[in-house]
Chain A
Amino acid sequence: MLRWLARRFAQIIPTLIVLSVLIFGLQQLMPGDPALILAGEERGDPMVLAQIRAELRLDRPLPEQYLNWIGNVLVGDFGFSWRIREPVAKLILQKLPVTFQLASMAFIIAVLIGVPAGILSATRRDTPTDWIANGIALFGISMPNFWLGIMMILLFSVELGWLPPSGYVSLTEDFWESIATTIMPAFVLGTGVAGVLMRHTRAAMLGALAQDYVRTARAKGVAERVVVWKHALRNALIPVVTLGTIEFGRLLAGAVLTEQIFTIPGFGKLIVDAVFNRDYPVVQGVVLATALIFVALSLVADLLYMAVNPRMRQA
């Protein structure tokens, strides 16, 4: 087990190196000259453009740019944002807790709604309960986030005046105000993920409930509650774990549209603005951080697989 974990950690390094090369390559494929976009309306002066390129080393060959950047990263220097001159590490550390809070709240909402609804739906298959649960889940998935978001703002902020329409207050600054600023976006994000989890839980439960051992247990007179929660659910969890970790990763990588609407200064907004502004040091830093999140979460997924089904440990 320990050796397995050590191997997993060792894999992180080549992953990040390959990813960093990939992201450098993709940046080259993207049209748009960082110096030009940095200059914006002031791009009329070719000498200034040349100065910017020289300062940002954009006039150097690509391999040199890459080695220079990765060399600095290895000693912990992620560079600074070209657009606002703040250190990239500071920006990431500033935005990550925000997104982490939002993602966790959304994920909790999603799990609390999605998994029980999926179980209920599976145990009451083909009853009105099942149909309604399915309808709501699919509605949550196909409803565009911007629509739900704006509607919630109009209702809870403009009409009722209960919640602040947008913005963010951190947990340490003011706990309740922080919850108040994040509850609506968390709900918007949570409904979509809840739908995904509900559908997967339902399908997996249906499969598990049809298994021989479940029928055997039932035949032996084991209480239905125990059958459902102890025997079937455990075996139904593999796809739920897979999707759950992926969806959580996606939430952590930044829910761009929702952050945009609720003006939550999180990871998603950071990366989108960085891409549109060709603020490459920020893009590279954020992508590396995101990759760490996904690698960590796939480790969590594998550990959960083993917890759910101990026999998978041999794999």
Chain B
Amino acid sequence: MIRAFWLILALLAAGSASAQNLRIGLREDPDILDPTLSRTYVGRIVYMSLCDKLFDINERLEVVPQLATGFTWEDPRTLRIALREGVTFHDGERMDAAAVVYSLNRHMTMQGSFRRSEISEIDALEIVDPLTVRIRLKNPSAAFMSQLTDRAGMIVSPRAAEALGRNFGTRPVCAGPFRFVERVAQERIVVERFEQYWDRANIHFQRVTYLPIPDNNVRLANLQSNAIEFGERMEPDDVRTAQRSRNLRVVPVEEIGYQGITINLGRGPGGSNGLARDARIRRAFELSIDRTAINQVVYEGMYTPTRQPLPPANPFHARDFAPPGRDIAAARALLREAGVTGPLTVEMIVPNNPDLRQVGEVIQAMVREAGFELRLRAMEYASALQAASRGEYETFLTGWSGRTDPDGNMYTFMRTGGGQNDGDYSNPAVDRLLDAARTEMDVERRIALYADIMRIAVAEDASRVYLWHRKNIMIHSTRLTGYSPVPDGLVRLQGMRLR
């Protein structure tokens, strides 16, 4: 009886692996699947199958055509986009200039749209002909194109969007390679091959199932026992185990974001902390941290220590801006210079996940030697966010998932009054440079502007301590071929197949 039971199970397991069905283990359950209203990183992974964008990025973070075939700047404020011919949405509607204008308008005007600020530079939209759109901007913008490579560039079926309204996210209808089949919250999202997809020759799966599996050990166990073929954002601790397995392949991809410490320089009750007093104290704090050691101790040396918001993969990454080595003597000297005698107590909020909590403990031990008494405060995300936005914190160990354009990693964090400038950092010189870099279309000059910003905001003012760039560690079955990693960590299904 029991033996028969196992036999049945074995047969079931064997049967499910035969077809060209891909199962992807996600680290979290995505939020609503409406390109206008969604905001999680993990949701963007799922959009890769559902919703094509006007443009995409490649492994060098260059803009490449997707639903659009090309673009030209008619003048610094006028963008002309040519659309691909013969593209249809999952409901059979044609994807044309009217649909593009509809989608962009939806992003801009829908209540609670998270895309609004991304494309707020749009002044007017014009339909030139059924396959050409003209976008007029309020100001020249170097960052604008990159927005069209992400959710703001996703085109939805106007008919479905009108019919479903705010519930569009429960049954999204776009023009991606797969169409939505079903979603069971916290369990699975299933998509199915869309036969009329414009690039169907490159799609080899019949069905893709996204399974949220939050526990890292268990996501790995699923890979090891062949219950999923692809696991995203795995832990550095898992890499060695996976490498020992002959059936698994580990692909570490440099991310486009960063992890660092936000320092409250003047917001709310936490704004009058010891670090806010003097840039020298903050520099001393930074000098007492050994980024390489953190990386070794907590992340098996897999990540990239940094001192800036732009990872090496980003073309605007500032060269000659390597993180300084740990120097306790110099840190103590700076503290003396700033008139600090005796231990300086600073509080740091750490998110309640195990690795960042360990980082907190490591930093705590490191800065003690220089004369900082770092008190750690573990907090869940929602409490920490509120503390950050109200200034009820002194320092905050936090990260940013990153955007392809450098502006997305800096402007809102460093500009006076910026939406995510939780430390209320303010330096008019930096503001001027940030504004200039936004409109500077020449790449070399823009690189120089960002280098200047970092020299002032990071090296001199020490407004924030950047610590490392993560790697998106992808682990997949060796049966899977054709995965081409892109630094944004999203899983593009084109070209992938199972052997």
Query: Contact string, B212-227, partner A, CB cutoff 8 A, digits 1/0?
Result: 1111011001101101
Question: Do B112 and A52 have beta carbons less than 8 Å apart?
Answer: yes
Give the residues in chain B near A31, CB-CB below 8 Å: 382-383, 386-387
Closest chain-A Cβ to B206's Cβ sits at a distance in Å of 19
Question: Does B184 lie within 8 Å of A165, measured CB to CB?
Answer: no
- Say if the beta carbon of A144 comes within 8 Å of chain B: no
List chain B residues, Cβ under 8 A from A270: 185-186
Count of chain A residues near B, Cβ 8 A: 56
Find the A residue at minimum CB distance from B113.
A48
Closest to B413 in A: A44
Q: Do B227 and A277 touch across chains, with their CB atoms under 8 A apart? A: no
Determine the chain A residues whose CB is within 8 A of the CB of B32 once the complex forms. Answer: 83-85
CB of B116 within 8 A of chain A? yes
Binding site for B on A (CB under 8 A): 30-33, 36-48, 51-52, 54-55, 81, 83-86, 91, 94, 150, 153-154, 157-158, 161-168, 174, 176-177, 180, 260-263, 265, 269-270, 273, 276-278
Partner of B214, one of A44, A162, A263: A263
Give every chain B residue within 8 A of A168 (Cβ-Cβ).
187
Contact of B382 among A37, A150, A177, A265 (CB under 8 A): A37
Q: Report the minimal beta-carbon distance from A102 to chain B, rounded to whole angstroms.
A: 13
Instruction: Given A40-B40, A43-B389, verify A165-B380 contact (CB < 8 Å).
Output: no
B376-400 Cβ-contact flags toward A at 8 Å (1 or 0): 0000111101110100000000001
Asked whether B29 lies within 8 Å of A273 as measured between CB atoms, the reply is yes
Partner pick for B222 among A94, A165, A174, CB 8 A cutoff: A165
Interface contacts beyond A33-B386, A86-B170, A166-B221: sample of 12 additional A-B pairs, CB < 8 Å, sorted by A: A36-B385, A41-B41, A41-B400, A42-B114, A86-B185, A150-B218, A153-B217, A161-B10, A176-B9, A260-B214, A270-B185, A277-B382
User: What is the predominant secondary structure among interface residues of chain B facing chain A?
Assistant: mixed
Please state if B185 and A43 are interface contacts (CB–CB under 8 Å): no
Q: Which chain A residue shows the least CB distance to B33?
A: A84
Known contacts A161-B13, A162-B9; A48 and B29 CB within 8 A of each other: no
Instruction: Determine the chain A residues whose CB is within 8 A of the CB of B419 once the complex forms.
Output: 43-46
Residues of B within 8 A of A150 (CB): 217-218, 221
- A305 and B215 CA atoms in complex are apart in Å by 41
| Distance from B403 Cβ to chain A, minimum over Cβ atoms (Å) | 10
B9 near A163: Cβ-Cβ < 8 Å: yes
On whether the beta carbons of B218 and A153 are closer than 8 Å, the reply is: yes
Question: In the bound complex, do residue B221 and residue A154 qualify as a contact, i.e. CB atoms below 8 Å apart?
Answer: yes
8 pairs, A vs B, C-beta closer than 8 Å: A31-B387, A36-B382, A37-B385, A85-B166, A153-B218, A165-B218, A167-B188, A278-B382
Q: Find out whether the CB atom of B212 lies under 8 angstroms from the CB atom of A263.
A: yes
Distance of A259 Cα from B152 Cα, bound (Å): 35
Q: Could you tell me the distance between the alpha carbons of A153 and B187 in the complex, rounded to whole angstroms? A: 18
Chain A residues contacting B215 (CB-CB under 8 Å) are 166, 260-261, 263
Roughly how many angstroms separate A261 CA and B31 CA in the complex, as a whole number? 20
> In the complex, what residue of chain A is closest to B120 when comparing beta carbons?
A45
Contact A84 B116, beta carbon cutoff 8 Å: no
Q: Which of B36-58 contact A (CB under 8 A)?
A: 39-41
The answer to whether A44 and B418 have CB atoms under 8 Å apart is yes
CB contact under 8 A between A55 and B31, given known A32-B386, A158-B225? no
Residues B186 and A167 in contact, CB atoms below 8 Å apart = no
**Whole-angstrom CA separation of A46 from B389 in the bound complex:** 11
Question: Within the complex, what minimum Cβ distance (angstroms) separates B262 from chain A?
Answer: 14
Beta-carbon contacts under 8 Å, B210-266 to A: 211-215, 217-218, 221-222, 224-225, 227
A54 to B112, CA, bound (A): 9
Known contacts A31-B387, A263-B213, A44 near B412 by CB under 8 Å: yes
Task: Give the residue of A33, A42, A273 whose beta carbon is less than 8 angstroms from that of B39.
Answer: A42
Give chain A residues whose Cβ lies under 8 Å from the Cβ of B112: 48, 51-52, 55
Question: How long is the Cα–Cα vector from A153 to B224 in the complex, in angstroms?
Answer: 11
**Separation of A168 and B184 alpha carbons in the complex (Å):** 11
B39 touches A40 (CB 8 A): yes
Q: B132 CB to closest chain A CB, in angstroms?
A: 30
Q: List, in ascending order, chain A residues with CB within 8 A of B381's CB.
A: 37, 276
Residues from chain A with a CB closer than 8 A to the CB of B117 are 42, 44-45, 48
Assuming the contacts A33-B386, A91-B185, asked whether A157 and B114 have C-beta atoms less than 8 A apart, the reply is no
